[in-house]
Amino acid sequence: MDMRKRQPIGVELVRRGIVTERDIENALEYQKAHPDKKIGDILYILETCEPNRLIDAIGDIVGTKGIVLNARNIKVKLTDYISLDVAKKNKAIPFDVGAGKIKVCFANTVNNRAMDTVRLLLLNKGLVMDSYITFESDIDKILKSLEGTATSNLSTSGRNDTITALVDSIIKTGIERRASDIHIEPMQNNVRVRYRIDGELFTAATIDKEKQNQIVGRLKAISNMHQEKQESQDGRILLYDDYNIRVSSQPNVYGEKFVLRLLKKNTNIKNIFELGFPGTEEQFRRSIHKKNSITIIAAPTGEGKTTSLYSIIDYLNSPEINITTIEDPVEIRIEGLNQIEIDNKSSFSSSLRTVLRQDPDVILVGEIRDRETGEIAIQAGQTGHYVLSTIHTIDSIEVITRLRKMGLSDYDIASTLATSISQRLVRRICPECKRERPFNKEEKKIIETIGKRYGVEFDLNANTYDAVGCKHCNNTGYYDRIGIFEVLDITDEIKEEIMNGKSSLEIRREALKQNYQPLVIDGIRKIIQGYTTLEELNKKLLIY
């Protein structure tokens, strides 16, 4: 039990009628001679009440389940799941497993560091931990009985081998959990490990601060970074089959933080409609089958712009077309394409100049970052090429404003920009545990208000779904992501607005007359189609 809460636990046990005030007084007197004992364990040792009743009450007070642990209810071999050293250090004993979950008893469920350490090790074995609390004296008794018969899971030949196994466990767990990024962050008192899964960051574990320098050393060694440099560095880890892991280090006030981007090699490129692109294939083809022009995809960082670009390129790819890409870095290699990776000696603009002499039909420029790249991309579009690129901005109309701010002329933008696409990624409801129900009054009101604003009617007789949570989705209620899109086709009327220097607000008014529909419309359609929830859409677009 938790030392810091011994008095509140004692008071609460008296209040519930589990023990008497005299029992607590006796326990405190006992504790003077045994200061290492916690109040709950002392009450158990003194046999003040029935053990199951006592541990159930203590579990309820600290917010978990209580169990009296003994040989009869231990149904697994401890060392099949964690080492004896880990069990001793964290006062933890796995005692049952089934359906992807493993039950683990702790002497103190308020010790998050201990629980997170064990949770991470079990996640690496594909098991979700279900925590219980029990008496420390019983845990000590069981662990003592295992001494001499158990062997450690991790190599104990040296400290470096243990750190090697720990870093390997962190990375493999991230791969198994479908993480796109792993954050290894030095904090004041520990090192925090977080995974970004389906766009959301989840804390997986905290590691003892004393291991920080060893973890940093191991990460630098396997990502080919300079060990002695205490400054920002970039590297790659190529130790894992099918994965190219980009590594970035950045010093902060408590040490060096690492972010590992997990990029799967030779991944299958999804069809643009699998990603959630709205409309028909004919509408899509009209938007992207254009020569002498540029198509730009706009979104903040991490919203799937590159994935959409690859899908469009894959759709266009054929032996009759010369397609060249300029990327930083090349994330997916596609057969039949000429893919160029930016390095320290090159830039998008310099590479684009060279590519124009390579007789391309279609050019993919990973990102328009500055005026020079924008001007060369415009020039490429004006001289018979079809250019695809991305830009960081909030929606498809603000692409025009962003290009203006880079210094491109209204004439160049109006004459060359053919299609502007904006997108966001929202989490899909888990198909294994979603719960169907009708829209409630508040949800209908929100959706109807948005529909009236843009002149769109929605069928709210359909049902929506609640995100519940299960083993398949790691109890989040969501699994994978889907895109929501808006497409701005630059019609003659919109070209005229741009040429006349009209503001984005005025261009938006004209676009709405030309059947342009903003992101929120596609988002609501995907809610009605059962792909996502109103709460998830609101997290992205703040619609209420």
Among 202, 237, 264, residue at a domain's last position: 264
- The CATH number of whichever domain residue 255 belongs to comes to 3.30.450.90
Q: Is 300 inside a domain boundary?
A: yes
| Spatial separation of the C-alpha atoms in residues 321 and 447, rounded to whole Å | 44
DSSP reduced 3-state for 68: coil
8 A C-beta contact, residue 367 and residue 387: no
Q: Do 36 and 114 share a structural domain? A: yes
The number of folded domains in the chain is: 3
In a domain? residue 536:
no
How would you classify the pairing of strands 417-429 and 293-298? parallel
Q: Which residues contact 398 (CB under 8 A, 6 or more apart)?
A: 298, 504
Q: What does the pLDDT read at residue 228? A: 82
> Which amino acid would we find at residue 482?
I
Asked whether residue 197 falls in the same domain as residue 333, the answer is: no
pLDDT at 156: 33
Tell the burial category of 446 from Cβ atoms under 10 Å away from its Cβ (0-12, 13-18, 19+). middle
40 and 75 together in one domain: yes
Q: Are residues 129 and 223 in the same domain?
A: no
My answer on whether 360 and 299 are in the same domain is yes
533 assigned to some structural domain: no
Q: 97: part of which helix (H) or strand (E)?
A: strand 92-98
- Neighbouring residues of 347: CB distance < 8 A, sequence distance ≥ 6: 373
Last residue of a domain, one of 216, 235, 264: 264
What is the H or E stretch that residue 41 is in?
helix 39-45
Beta-carbon contacts of residue 309 (< 8 Å; ≥ 6 apart): 297, 364, 366, 388, 389, 390
Say whether 151 sits in a helix, a strand or coil.
coil
For residue 397, being part of any structural domain is answered with yes
pLDDT in tens, the chain (544 residues): 443 344 468 888 888 888 888 888 888 888 888 888 888 888 888 888 888 889 888 888 888 889 898 878 888 888 778 877 788 888 899 998 887 789 999 988 777 777 888 888 888 777 888 889 999 888 888 887 775 443 333 333 334 458 888 999 899 989 988 999 999 999 999 999 999 999 988 888 889 899 999 999 999 999 999 988 889 999 999 898 889 899 999 999 999 999 999 988 777 788 899 999 998 888 888 888 677 899 999 999 889 998 999 999 999 999 999 999 998 888 788 888 999 998 877 888 899 999 999 999 999 999 999 999 999 999 999 988 999 999 999 999 999 999 999 999 999 999 999 999 999 999 999 999 899 999 999 999 999 999 999 999 999 998 999 988 887 887 788 999 999 999 999 999 999 999 999 999 999 999 999 889 999 999 999 999 999 999 999 999 999 8
Helix (H, G, I), strand (E, B) or coil at 392: coil
**Which domain does 44 fall in, by range?**
3-146
* 180 & 77 share domain: no
Q: Which of 264, 292, 327 is the last residue of a domain?
A: 264
Hey, what are 109's tokens?
């469920």
For residue 166, which of 201, 131, 216, 126 has the smallest C-alpha distance? 216
Coil, strand or helix at 138: helix
> Do residues 124 and 166 share a domain?
no
Residues 186 and 233 in one domain: yes
Q: Are residues 34 and 91 in the same domain?
A: yes
Q: Is residue 275 part of a domain?
A: no
The whole-angstrom separation of Cα 239 and Cα 436 is 44
Residue 148 has a pLDDT of 44
* pLDDT reported for residue 8: 64
Tell me if 523 is assigned to some domain.
no
The verdict on 128 and 164 lying in the same domain is no
Output the pTM of the full model. 0.69
CA distances from 71 to 65, 129, 141, 261 (A): 18, 20, 10, 44
CATH number of residue 129's parent domain:
3.30.300.160
Q: Answer whether residue 443 is part of any domain.
A: no
